[in-house]
A = this chain, B = another copy of it.
Amino acid sequence: MLKGLTRAGLGNVGDIEQFIALASCHGFQSVDIDLAGLAEGRGVEGAAELLRSHGIVPGAIGLPVQWRTTDDEFRKGLPVLLKNADLARQLGCTACTTYILPSTDEPAAAFMASAIRRLRLCAQMLGAYGIRLGLEFVGPHHLRTRWKHPFIWTMADTLDMIEAIGEPNVGLLLDCYHWYTNGLGTGDIAKLRADQIVHVHLNDAPAVPVEEALDNGRLITGEGVIDLTGFLKALKQTGYAGVLAQEVLTQQPPQEPAEELVRRTAVQYDRLFAEAGIGG
């Protein structure tokens, strides 16, 4: 498994090049970044060279398609999807992710039918570029009633939705925060096949009752109460060999410098990898 970072929760990590250098400098092997931004000015070859020179591989790109509203909006994103997929392919990135909010203002059943229909097309298009689509279930309790109708937030329902999409290159984006707020255990992960996991997010939760853990109230990986050692051991058991990208959503920007936050993250990753028996 690869140690990875996203920008979330790290404050001002600078421009893309500085972020890559910072990640690399602290032993991370992957970053989730805007590949179009990376290639801008540098070209694809320059972007590839920059990554290579820092020993960094790209993690996942975000799905640049609006699949939650109208067919018109959805269609507008498709050319961008092709463009980003092509770039990702050239830069060796094989994962694209999107999240599923646990409630919605749309009628839930019809929204699910549209979501399945639209995400299937996205998956098919990504498949032509050798890219997999990871769907992230979102666990925090407060979001389940945030919009009018409950949608889905469990891993089981998300796996069922993935099966309904029916494409070979769709799986989970597994975020430990959503695993935790769903009250899942290590056994729930261990029974997954590696290919059902497209991407993984790491972070941590404060010592509040799980029902009160806010989506944007996350802590640096390893500095909270989530059983991350168990989480990683279970992941290892599945055979998952992809990226573990830290994503720390917070209400306020952090006070400390980015460098310090990355350093703290690195320390925790090292500890957790050691505890879980994962070769770094």
Does A273 have its Cβ within 8 Å of any Cβ on chain B?
Answer: no
Cα A168 to Cα B127 with chains together (Å): 12
For window 1-25 of chain A, which residues contact chain B by CB distance below 8 Å?
none
Residue numbers in B under 8 Å from A166 (CB-CB): 117, 120, 166-168
Cα A108 to Cα B161 with chains together (Å): 12
Residue of B nearest to A89 (CB): B75
Residue numbers in B under 8 Å from A160 (CB-CB): 110, 113-114, 117
Does A124 have its Cβ within 8 Å of any Cβ on chain B?
Answer: yes
A279 to chain B, nearest CB (A): 13
A162 to chain B, nearest CB (A): 8
Q: In the complex this chain forms, how many copies of it are found?
A: 4
Residue of B nearest to A152 (CB): B109
A129 to chain B, nearest CB (A): 7
Segment of A47-55, A77-85, A173-181, A226-234 engaged in the interface with chain B: A77-85
Cα A195 to Cα B239 with chains together (Å): 10
Residue of B nearest to A79 (CB): B82
Of B83, B113, B150, which one neighbours A116 at CB under 8 angstroms?
Answer: B113
B-contact bits for A215-242, CB 8 A (1 contact / 0 none): 0000000000000000000000001010
Residue numbers in B under 8 Å from A193 (CB-CB): 194-195
Residue numbers in B under 8 Å from A127 (CB-CB): 121, 163
Residue numbers in B under 8 Å from A168 (CB-CB): 163, 166-168, 170
Residue numbers in B under 8 Å from A239 (CB-CB): 194, 239, 241
Does A141 have its Cβ within 8 Å of any Cβ on chain B?
Answer: no
Contact A164 B79, beta carbon cutoff 8 Å = no
| Subset of 14 A-B contacts with CB under 8 Å | A74-B128, A75-B128, A79-B82, A107-B152, A109-B112, A109-B152, A113-B116, A113-B157, A116-B164, A120-B124, A120-B164, A120-B166, A121-B127, A195-B195
Does A125 have its Cβ within 8 Å of any Cβ on chain B?
Answer: yes
Of B75, B125, B129, B195, which one neighbours A129 at CB under 8 angstroms?
Answer: B75
Contact B157 A110, beta carbon cutoff 8 Å = yes
